[in-house]
Amino acid sequence: MLRFAVRAAVGSDAPAILALADRLAAFGPTTRDALEISRRERRALAEALSHPADGSSLLVAERPPLGLVGVVLLDTRRDYFTDEPHGHVAILAVAREAEGRGVGRALLEAAEDWGRARGFSKLTLAVFTENRRAKEVYQRRGWKPEMETWYKTLG
């Protein structure tokens, strides 16, 4: 297992964070173009770094000499049914060279700590249906599916 530290992102992390956005399309759906995914995720990460929103946090996992090996963007959302605030893992990405080494797990644990510190009773996240590997990690960490998003392309 790699040794690394999880910390708040800083401005000088921008190039490495934005490079990690391309990893988000690696396990993406066949229903979306990889460029569409990476562009949007890159924009969300850049905005989170340059203009942090209240109730959000951008954390990175770092390992010398590799540098940044993971990123997680956390948001505060409201439950549709109860209107109670909760934490949301908006983006989670791990560098290819650090896959399977506990980086994702550590970032999820940091997300849980972040949520507890804010008094949230739950965290949510979204995962592409075809991303079986991520789903297995989430399930092992105690996450459960609740809803699915379905779509229909209109001609």
Q: Tell me the pLDDT tens digit for each residue of 45-81.
A: 999 999 999 999 999 999 888 899 999 999 999 999 9
Query: In the chain, what are the domain boundaries?
Result: 5-140
At 8-36, the pLDDT tens digits run 999 999 999 999 998 888 876 778 888 89
When the pLDDT of each residue in the chain is averaged and rounded to a whole number, the result is 92
Name the pTM for this structure: 0.92
Q: CB of 55 within 8 A of CB of 128?
A: no
Q: Which residue has the higher pLDDT, 150 or 18?
A: 18
Main-chain phi, psi angles of 96, to 5 degrees? -55, -45
Q: What pLDDT, on the 0 to 100 scale, is given for residue 28?
A: 66
Q: CB of 97 within 8 A of CB of 84?
A: no
**What dotted CATH number matches 5-140?**
3.40.630.30
